Amino acid sequence: MNGPREYDYDVIVIGGGHSGCEAALAASRMGCRALILNHNLGNMALMPCNPAVGGPAKGNLVRELDALGGEQARAADVSTLHLRWLNTSKGHAVRTLRAQCDLSEYGDYYARTLWSADLRIYQAMVSGIVVDSGRVSGVTTLAGEKFSAGRVIVAAGTYMRGLVHMGMVNFPSGPLGQVSSGFGLSESILAAGIELRRFRTDTSPRIDADSIDWDSIELQPSDPEPEAFSHWGEKRAYRDHFCGHTRTSARTRDIFKASFHRSPLAAHGIEAKGPRYCPSLDDKIMKFPDKESHPVFLEPEGRKSRSIYMQNLSTYMPPDVQLEIVHTLPGCERAIMLKPGYGIEYDYVVPTQLEPWLEAKAVRGLYFAGQICGTSGYEEAAAQGFMAGVNAALSALGREPLVLRRDQAYIGVLIDDLVTRGTNEPYRMLPSRCEHRLIMRHDNADERLCAIGRELGVLSDEQWEIFNKKKAALESARKKLSEIRAPASEGVNSILRERGSSPLSEPAAAIDLLRRPEISWQDLPRIIDVDIDADIGRRIETDAKYEGYVEREKRRVARMASMELLRIPDGLVYSEISGLSAESVEKLSVITPKTLGQASRVAGVTCADIQLIQVTIEKNRREARS
């Protein structure tokens, strides 16, 4: 950085979870003096819930983050125990990877990457943010230290005023027995004029792998073909670990019902909202009391560990009831519990108080990212952390912020949903939230985002070179398949009939054959003389089969682009626009959308409202010119 050193640091990151790690790395790689403060240097990128990465929509976030220059995909590849493709029967638009990871190796990768980066790492409990005249200027710690910076990113996860529940017992704590990070941080954020609310989440018991009767349950091996999450990673097949599938029973439900007086959810209720799409078993049985069975997956937590995570069995019950419940599951009748599950309440920032680049509207230079923004999941946290780190760095460099569009990335959908629509429950990224998912697939994240990562200076020379080589190979193969024509011979037609496809009456371009639903890229070497790399073959096939739909989607995006480009002037007074409903005036005044497109996505705002706003903007511009 040039010029006088007004602050000790350009960017300070509070928290060393998935979000904080990505934020600090992004800021430092863009040339900023960065400091990451974590209350325990031994738990960087901790995975307090199931140590899994990816899955529907979440896997898209990981791939996009990787294409931009983030680290989560490579952390997953380094630590993968078990890897599978999901949604393979639902089409390429929602197809994605899910990796079961070694939680220690995953965290170690992030720690090594941080220690090798050009940034400072320090163990401290942050007790407050320092705000001067509406702008952040640093942080204070519980030990009385002060660190100054013009940009501060709060990535405190579920730690702020964390309160753990096990049965009717509750106590201040962070996840997995970590120290809660209340100690003034929440109070200082509130004092800065930023609203906090409470959410809750929960986790499952862990059991000893050697105490499970694996022969009596269904086993799920990894997919046999080598794969990797990262665009830059070496593809591998994983055969040494597997997951198990079992189910709860009517007896499980009956034990829950008999013990409901010992669950804080049923006995006196917890006002904080929990996750809708990954609810605790307490929630499930309370809401669906007649349902006798729920699936439970037994998933390894480490290569050298005997700990098995019981996915879908998260609970608030006391430990003795949890053990009784575990013993009702087939294969777990003699299971030894290593850690009980628990629920945790924590503070989060109402995300509509943030700009689309994750900066607080009330305090300039103060950014929020991760679960503190009301989200759930490692993937959502890491994506937000990267974007907050990038935007804090861009601000320090005197550059315009980066806002990814909804038609550009799942990351853009995630952040736009949060800052425009808000959330009244822990937000989880889902394919259904993305209206442009056909053009934002798992396989084309590099095409969409690598150039942005390179322009930011986050993507390395080596990564950029690999991307360009892949891009050139893809273009060459696509051109070749467009030029090569398959003959209308009996040999070719025999193969087509074998695949259930109509025979040729005249020669056809190989790319046209790929447009047929029955023909895959693996069939082409039997039809024409061509050798195709698997990744390139799958990509060309997907593009060919969905070409018409993709073009239609691109035209739709182009039609909507004018709304996204039309900026709403700062200071527009919505209450002065005649015809706007009181609800629209209230919500638009709070969210202060930056573009007409963002305004159209505010809950309760109608098409008529958007037309009134547009007319007002155009009228004000004409008057200003006259």
Please determine, for residue 333, whether its predicted confidence score (pLDDT) is greater than 90.
Answer: yes
| Residue length of the chain | 626
Q: Amino acid identity, residue 66?
A: D
- Map tokens 């935007």 to a residue: 391
Task: Assign domain 566-625 to its CATH architecture.
Answer: Orthogonal Bundle (1.10)
pLDDT of residue 412: 97
Please determine, for residue 429, whether its predicted confidence score (pLDDT) is greater than 50.
Answer: yes
- Which CATH number describes the domain made up of 206-342? 2.40.30.260
Lowest mean pLDDT among 104-113, 205-214, 253-262, 441-450: 253-262
By the 8 A CB rule, do 472 and 123 touch? no
pLDDT of residue 4: 44
- Which position has the higher pLDDT, 389 or 281? 389
What's the rounded Cα separation, in Å, for the pair 44 and 21?
A: 8
pLDDT of residue 608: 87
Lowest mean pLDDT among 60-64, 77-81, 175-179, 401-405: 175-179
Partnered with residue 170 across adjacent β-strands are: 165
State the average pLDDT over residues 253-280: 88
pLDDT of residue 5: 60
Instruction: Spell out the residues 6+ positions from residue 233 whose beta carbon is closer than 8 angstroms to its own.
Output: 73, 74, 77
Please determine, for residue 91, whether its predicted confidence score (pLDDT) is greater than 80.
Answer: no
Long-range contacts of 279-282 (CB under 8 A, 24+ apart): 279/314, 280/202, 280/314, 280/315, 280/316, 280/343, 281/248, 281/252, 281/256, 281/312, 281/313, 281/314, 281/315, 281/325, 282/256, 282/315, 282/316, 282/317
Judge if pTM exceeds 0.85: yes
Q: Where do the H-state alpha helices sit in 274-371? A: 281-287, 319-326
pLDDT of residue 147: 97
Topology adopted by domain 482-549? Arc Repressor Mutant, subunit A (1.10.10)
Lowest mean pLDDT among 62-76, 259-273, 342-356, 461-475: 259-273
With both helix axes pointing from N to C terminus, report the angle between 378-396 and 72-79 in degrees, rounded to the nearest 10: 140
Please give the full DSSP string across 512-567, using - where no structure is assigned. Answer: HHHTSTT--GGGHHHHSS----HHHHHHHHHHHHTHHHHHHHHHHHHHHHHHHHSB
Domain spans of the chain? Answer: 9-47+105-202+346-449, 206-342, 482-549, 566-625
Question: Confidence band (pLDDT; 50, 70, 90) for 3?
Answer: very low
| Percent of all residues in the chain with a pLDDT value above 90, rounded to a whole number | 80
Please determine, for residue 1, whether its predicted confidence score (pLDDT) is greater than 50.
Answer: no
What's the rounded Cα separation, in Å, for the pair 141 and 37?
A: 9
| Percent of all residues in the chain with a pLDDT value above 70, rounded to a whole number | 99
CATH class of 9-47+105-202+346-449: alpha beta
pLDDT in tens, 567-601: 999 889 999 999 998 888 999 998 999 999 999 99
